[in-house]
Structures are given as structure tokens and as C-alpha cells.
Structure 1
Amino acid sequence: MQCLLVDDEPLALQLMEDNLKDVSYIKIIGKCRTAADALTIMQHEQVDLLFCDIHMPGLNGLQLVKSLISKPLVVFVTAYEKFAINGFELEVLDYLVKPVPQERLLKACQKAYQFFELKNTTAVIPPSLSKAYFFVSSDYMLVKVNFNDIQYIQGLKDYVKIVLNNNQKPILSRTSLKAIEKQLPPSLFYRIHKSYLINVDYISHIRRGKVVGVNVELPLSDNYRLTINKMIGRELE
């Protein structure tokens, strides 16, 4: 994993580098004392793991992570425990409080590596044709999802949102709608828009420009009208 260290304290940066240098699966590609410098590096280098202080002059660590469109795995390292809630609201991987024990640091590294391997092996584990479910990566674990429970799936930049029936909590997974679509039975799920897939069993009715499901209206793109025509066996008016 390519790793970037960000901390405004030179001694803290050096200590972090020393503690990580013997971790075989981590390659430190840069050390920064400001968030602005970190942004510059991340624009030109692939960063898989970010160890970042929070309380820094200028742009702080929280603001840095919020500004990222495509986020790496993030571990906040700070002397201020009060920032922990803010950090986890950003869905960071871990939160370390200085001074960081070596054992705790290695635990965070192992957690990052496991998730990195999982994400890069496959964001979705393909089901066999006989199965009625698949697994998706969400919140640093694999979640089993039954096909019949899915009402629709929405693409959201770097994530997809899987909306389930019976008021179950939607599942967010860091993958693409295209990758998810490949894992779904084509007889059950139809693309109706560049950002939406819908389970045909939850379609209530279709009218011009809209596919109506359970308590939701989803856009029907002209590019996918032919698909819907084939599904219902007639042309939409």
C-alpha cells in the first residue's frame, strides 16, 4: 500500500515513519506538514492509505478529508480525543490518539491492509447461478444481500446505495454501479438510468420518464427505454 503521512509536527512525522518502516506491506511515498502539501501529492500520486493529524494550521485534517473526491483509507492520528466523533462521521478507517503505542499502530495497519486487499481483489463477490444472494463490501466487512430484498440501487460517485425492502437500512458500498450490475441476475434487475438499477418485482407502474416503485419515483432515461420495452413486451408511449 502506498502511504502518505501528514502532521504539522516534524518529530511526530519522523516517529510515525520510524514505526512504519518495518511494515512490509506499507510504502511511504511522502511526508507533509500541511494539508495543502498533501493535496498536491495526492493529485500526482496514488495514495492508498493516509495517516493524518487533525489539528493543523490552515486546512485541518477533517477539512482535508472532506475535500477529497476519491478518498484513500484514512487513519486520523491526533492528540485531541474530542475529534474522534467527527472523524468517524467521515467514515475513516481508524482513529489513533497520541502518543500511539506501537501495538495499536500495527493493529490499524493490519486493518487497513485487510480492507485494501479485500477492495482490490473484488468489491463484490460473484454469486453462483444457483444462489439467491451475493456479498458486498460495506463498513469494512462483507454484508450478505438477498437479491429479492433489493428494491433499487443508486450510483453515487465512488459509492453505490443499495435500497432494501421492509425499511431496512440502505447499504453503502465503495464500488461502481457497473461492477454491481455484473453480479445481479439480468432477468430480475434492469438499468433504467445511468445512476439507477431497479428490481422488476418492485415496479408498480411506468409512465413517461418515470419508473414508480415502492414509495419512490425513479428517472427513466431515453437511453434505456428499449430495455424496458423488451422487459414489458411492448413499447412505451
Structure 2
Amino acid sequence: MLKQTTKEKIRCIAIDDEPFALQIIADDILKIPFLELIKVFSNALEAEQFLKENTVDLMFLDIQMQTLTGTQFLRRLTYPLMVVFTTAYDQYAIEGYDLSIVDYLLKPVPFERFLKAVNRAFELHLLRAKDEIPLVVEERLFFFIHSEYKQIKLFYDNILYIEGLKDYVKIFIRDTPKPILTRMNLKTIESKLVHSQFCRVHQSYIVSLDKIISFQKTKLLVDKQEIPIGRRFLEDFQLKYKQD
């Protein structure tokens, strides 16, 4: 499980007058380690009063609501906070971005798309809090590597395994036929990974524990690829894999 290592989590609220939609967005928020759900509202006016008395960093806001629409509500706010619109209607997108929202999500919102939005909010939050204690890289949901003259964002959950080649590593990604090649040794990239999700199993290999299909004493299988298990790595791997 990912641990939160920033000075504080992103405090957020959700506003939607549909109970089922509000429950879904609340459940998604609770899955993200760096988000802290403070309160949910089915009424924008109640949320407005709450915001006058409490500090909130991020708001998930429906648009088509009774009494007060999301755009009307946003224009009434007296202090800036990050906003993600969650709506079944796409015609408000231009107006939303004119209001400097972080993202615009169309219902039903796939979790992968929700994750993209909150990562965007997280990056903005870090920029605003750049003078505070920085996030420990290994605890992020993603990290960046340099490859082919560009910075590439890699999500931990997409990594199958990593192979070391002297001063280079090949990173094998789920549903991607060609690995990513970057100038980095295995020890350096190991320091960027979430310790609980990955394990060094050989002098030349690191594997994602939840991508292992099967293993024997001397080898394991990840996505149809046999990977050797080094003798000096075996004990640590077995302990870690069984705990996982």
C-alpha cells in the first residue's frame, strides 16, 4: 500500500445532488492515498457555507444541480481552490476552462480517467506548495524517466519488469510491445520504485510482484517471460512475495 509522505494530504470535498453519483466520486477519492475526503454535499449552498469556515484544497463539483448550478456556484466563491467538474453534459467544457478548472470529467467517469485528473491536481498542489517538504519520489503513483530525448511518465501499476544492461535499463510495460530504454543502472531505478510493489530477484532483474504468474526456486514467469531468480536474492524474494 502506498504511504503518504507529503507534509499534508490534499483536502477535498465533493458536491453532487445525485446520491449515487456522489457515492461513486467519494469511493474513488478514498482510493487515492494523497487525497483526504473532508465532506460531501448534495446542496451547493451548504457547501458554500462550509467553505467560508474551513480550508479546502480541491473540490469535485457537479454542474447541473437544483437551486444553484456548478458554474454559478464557482463564480460565487471568494477564495481560489482547485476544481474538477464531474458532469454528464459536455456543453459546459469551454465555460469550465474559462473558470480555470483543473479538469472536466464526463459521467460515468472511468477510474483511470479520474486518476489522471487527480494527478494533475496533485502536480498543481506541489507547485503551489513548493516551499514545503517535497514528496518522496518512491511513494508517488508515477515517476519520470528520460528516454529518446524526452521525459516519460511511468505509472507503477503498468510496469511488468525491468532488465539491467550495464549503464542502461529496459523497462517492460503492460500492453506495450517495445520496452523503454533509459540510461540508468538498476540500483538507481530501484530507488525510484515503491518498495512494497517491486523486488530485485536477480543481478539483472527487478519484477513487479503483482504481475508474477508463477515461480519456482530458480525462475519466475511474468507476462510469458521467464526471469531467473538469483541465489542470493531468493530468500528476500520469497519473504516479500508471500507477504504481498
TM-score by length of 2: 0.49
- Which 4+ stretches in 1 moved above 6 angstroms? none
Task: Output the amino acid matched with 1:42.
Answer: L
2:67 aligned residue: 58
More RCO (CA 8 Å, sep 6+): 2
Alignment size in residue pairs: 123
**1:139-164 C-alpha deviation (Å, 9 max, x unpaired):** xxxxxxxxxxxxxxxxxxxxxxxxxx
Matches within 5 A, 1:116-127: 116-122=125-131
Task: Output the amino acid matched with 1:102.
Answer: F
1:10 aligned residue: 19
Give ranges in structure 1 of 5+ residues lacking alignment: 123-237
Give ranges in structure 2 of 5+ residues lacking alignment: 1-9, 132-244
2:118 matched to 1:106? Answer: no
Task: Output the amino acid matched with 1:65.
Answer: L
Inter-partner Cα distance in structure 1 for 2:83 and 2:70: 10
Indicate the RMSD between aligned Cα atoms, in angstroms. Answer: 1.3
Q: CA deviation at 1:65?
A: 0.6
Q: CA deviation at 1:58?
A: 0.6
1:26 aligned residue: 35
**Is the Cα contact below 8 Å between 1:51 and 1:75 reproduced in 2?**
yes
**Is the Cα contact below 8 Å between 1:65 and 1:71 reproduced in 2?**
no
Inter-partner Cα distance in structure 2 for 1:116 and 1:84: 22
Inter-partner Cα distance in structure 2 for 1:15 and 1:71: 25
Task: Output the amino acid matched with 2:41.
Answer: C
Inter-partner Cα distance in structure 2 for 1:94 and 1:71: 15
2:76 aligned residue: 67
Q: Secondary structure at the match of 2:47?
A: helix
TM-score by length of 1: 0.51
**Is the Cα contact below 8 Å between 1:9 and 1:33 reproduced in 2?**
yes
